[in-house]
Amino acid sequence: MPTETAFPDPGRHLVRYSGHGTFSPELIVRAAGTSVFTESGRELLDFTSGQMSAILGHSHPAIVSTVREQVARLDHLHSGMLSPPVVELARRLAGTLPDPLDKALLLTTGAEANEAAVRMAKLVTGRHEIVSFARSWHGMTQAAANATYSAGRKGYGPAAPGNFALPVPDRHRPAIVDADGALDWRRQLDLGFEMIDAQSVGSLAACLVEPILSSGGVVELPPGYLTALAEKCRERGMLLILDEAQTGLCRTGDWYAFQHEGVVPDILTVSKTLGAGLPLAAVLTSPEIEERAHERGFLFFTTHVSDPLPAAVGNTVLDVLVRDRLDERARVLGAALRDGLDKLAARHEVVGDVRGRGLLLGMELVGDDVLGAGGADRLGAAVTRRCFERGLHMNIVQLPGMGGIFRIAPPLTASDEEIARGVGVLDEALADAARDL
């Protein structure tokens, strides 16, 4: 039986920091592997890997051991000091990437990494204009927030000048179609840059995008799109910055999602998955760009830049990814999960689309067609509640009119049985919610 909570009003003294203003209905007191456990003793399968970060699951023994050992030896230093874990992680990250991505800056969050990347791009190019997708999410710090269009733009005063939105090449919701009714992404991309060129004051510095938009609805860029986008950047002297906060380090079945198309960015940012749930991020670029930035006085001196404790964790994450061949595991588990979701789509008329790659998958509901305007949002919220009640934590996209899109990203260490169990709970929740609504 559930026990009475020790915190009858747990949110009383907390600022509500997400747009919908609500927290989960139960306190989480423990986490292990693919599960989190509530104060009342309930187990929830975690199909979001925490905040899309815990790719090794929760409390992984190797991470626990590293934190215990490293915090007792060397935890934090003056930002101008280097330590063996930092030097080693920079070297090893460069070793996972194609040339010329050979220089690393170690930070804490994805927003901070994107902030540093944009700052570097502006300094190196001598320009200030930034292009990003219209449903982007790159963080809540100044430059990252200015390049974020999915939420948080209203009510805070003017954004920095020179930020432009590029249409999202969404194959399920195509804005521009060809003669067969399919997304005409080339025409859309051309039109997008025609509009950007018309608005630009001649100071285009960089394009900052995710290879798979996660918060924007798990939108995988069409084959050829990233190559064409890189060419648009080259034509204008812009740098291409790829944000792989959620796609990097094996989640999509490749070490980095950009490898799927063979496009090498000028600057790469990784974060969430690099710390496997702990705050660690990195900016990676070429020696040429780093040298130019340094010559021009690049400054990004923060309290926790090059901290040894998170760097040691990052090294352990790389150890486990290589040792357990988790890129291959993500492909195998992802195929099983995708098969299960495709079967749900065939069985439930409210499932309109399944998409994504590896263990970053999206499932879109079509409640508006069945339940009228706003139906997908209501259905998505109802399915989320029913999943929680049945022991599965799921996440819906928090965008107006897109609350029926689930982002499904279990840990790479999940078992076959846990994947099957999660799909089974989702099956029951879909049936319950559709019937209730």
pLDDT digits (tens, 9 = 90+) for 327-372: 999 999 999 999 999 999 999 999 999 999 999 999 999 866 667 7
pLDDT digits (tens, 9 = 90+) for 258-271: 999 999 999 999 99
- Structural domains present in the chain: 28-59+325-436 (3.90.1150.10), 74-323 (3.40.640.10)
As a whole number of angstroms, the distance between CA 326 and CA 63 comes to: 16
Going by C-alpha positions, the residue among 225, 249, 86, 105 that lies closest to residue 166 is 225
Annotation marks residue 122 as catalytic? no
As a whole number of angstroms, the distance between CA 58 and CA 69 comes to: 18
Annotation marks residue 112 as catalytic? no
Q: What pLDDT is attached to residue 402?
A: 66
Annotation marks residue 180 as catalytic? no
Q: Which of 103, 112, 129, 137 is catalytic?
A: 137
Q: Which of 127, 272, 378, 386 is catalytic?
A: 272
Annotation marks residue 255 as catalytic? no
Contact residues for 206 (Cβ-Cβ < 8 A; gap 6+)? 117, 118, 121, 122, 125, 130, 131, 233, 238, 239, 240, 241, 266, 267
Q: What pLDDT is attached to residue 1?
A: 43
Per-residue DSSP letter, 399: S
Q: Which of 102, 115, 129, 210 is catalytic?
A: 210
| Number of continuous H segments (helices) and E segments (strands) in the chain | 13, 17
Annotation marks residue 428 as catalytic? no
Q: Which of 102, 112, 184, 243 is catalytic?
A: 243
Annotation marks residue 435 as catalytic? no
Going by C-alpha positions, the residue among 265, 204, 188 that lies closest to residue 236 is 204
Q: Which of 232, 331, 386, 407 is catalytic?
A: 407
Q: 373-394 b/e with 16+ CB inside 10 Å = b?
A: eebbbbbbbbbbbbbbeeebbb
Q: What pLDDT is attached to residue 401?
A: 61
Q: What pLDDT is attached to residue 20?
A: 67
pTM for this entry = 0.95
Helix (H/G/I), strand (E/B), else coil: 324 = coil
Per-residue pLDDT of the chain (437 residues), as tens digits, is 445 566 778 888 999 888 766 788 899 999 999 999 999 999 999 999 999 999 999 999 999 999 999 999 999 999 999 999 999 999 999 999 999 999 999 999 999 999 999 999 999 999 999 999 999 999 988 889 899 888 888 888 888 899 999 999 999 989 999 999 999 999 999 999 999 999 999 999 999 999 999 999 999 999 999 999 999 999 999 999 999 999 999 999 999 999 999 999 999 999 999 999 999 999 999 999 999 999 999 999 999 999 999 999 999 999 999 999 999 999 999 999 999 999 999 999 999 999 999 999 999 998 666 677 778 888 998 999 999 999 999 988 766 666 689 999 999 999 999 999 999 999 999 999 988 87
Helix (H/G/I), strand (E/B), else coil: 131 = strand
